[in-house]
Amino acid sequence: MRKPMVAGNWKMNGSLALVNDMGRALAGVDCSAVDVLVCPPFPYIGPLRRAVPDESGVALGGQDVSRYDSGAYTGEVAGAMLAEMGCRHVIVGHSERRAMHAETDEVVVDKVQAALRAGLTPIVCVGETLEARDAGETEQVVGRQLDAVLDLGGFVVEKLVLAYEPVWAIGTGRTASPEQAQAVHAFIRQRTADALGDELAQRFPILYGGSVKPGNARELFGCADVDGGLIGGASLDPDGFLEIISAARP
C-alpha cells in the first residue's frame, strides 16, 4: 500500500513569522500514516528546520535544484547544498519553472539526476495547459513529459515521487474534479506499468496539485490513484494545511 504524502509548496511567499507559526502547527503532527513535507523559499529552509522539531517527522524540501553540482552558476542552488541544510526532497519541473524559465523535458531530466546524486527525492511535476486540455491533448502532453523520466529506467523511477498538476488549475481557483484527477493519475500509472512493469507502477506515488483546499482535499485524496497532494496557496495557512494533512490519512 502506498503511503500518502502531503507536500506544501510555498512558492515565493512566506516570512519568518509564518515559519514560526508553521513550526508550532506542525510540532504535533503524526507522520506515521502520512508523509508531510514543506518546501519554503530557499532563505527559509534553515529557519524552518530549526522551528519544526526533529521528532515530528516533518520533512523539508527545496522548490528547485540546479542541474549542475557546483560552479559559476550565479543564483543557482546545488542539490548537495539542499541536502546539507536538511532537505530530503526537491520539486523538479514545476509548471511555473517550465513556463517562466523555459525548462524543457531535457532540463527536467538533468535536474532529476542532479537531485538523486545529492541523495534527494525528486518530486517531478507534469501537467497540461488549458489549451491542451480543450484540444484533447492531455494524455499527449502528460505522456511526453512522463516518458522523458521513464526513459531513465526503473532503477531511477522507483526513487521518485510524481505530481500531476494541471496548469489550468494552479492558482486559478479552478480544480480538476475528482473524476478528472483520477483519469490522469490512472493514465500515468498505466503508462508507467507499460514502460517499467506493474509492480513498480503500483508502488509509484502520484500526488495531485492544483488548488487543493481543506474543502476538496478529502474527495480528491479518496481517488484510487491519488496518493496525496502538492499544495500551493493552502499550505501558507497552518490550520488549513493541518486539515489537508488530516484529509490524507487512510
> Known catalytic residue: 101?
no
Write down the catalytic residue from 89, 94, 103, 185.
Answer: 94
Q: Which residue has the cell 510555498?
A: 10
> Known catalytic residue: 94?
yes
Question: By C-alpha distance, which of 32, 72, 74, 7 is closest to 234?
Answer: 7
Cell of 235: 499550505
Please list, in sequence order, all residues whose beta carbon lies within 8 angstroms of the beta carbon of residue 5, skipping any fewer than 6 positions away.
34, 35, 36, 37, 161, 205, 207, 227, 228, 229, 248
Scored b (16 or more CB within 10 A) or e, 139-161 reads bebbbebbebbbebebebbeebb
Write down the catalytic residue from 96, 103, 128, 165.
Answer: 165
Distance, C-alpha 121 to centroid of its chain = 10
Burial class from Cβ neighbours inside 10 Å (0-12, 13-18, 19+) for residue 112 reads buried
Burial class from Cβ neighbours inside 10 Å (0-12, 13-18, 19+) for residue 192 reads buried
Please list, in sequence order, all residues whose beta carbon lies within 8 angstroms of the beta carbon of residue 187, skipping any fewer than 6 positions away.
139, 142, 143
Which residues participate in catalysis according to the annotation? 94, 165
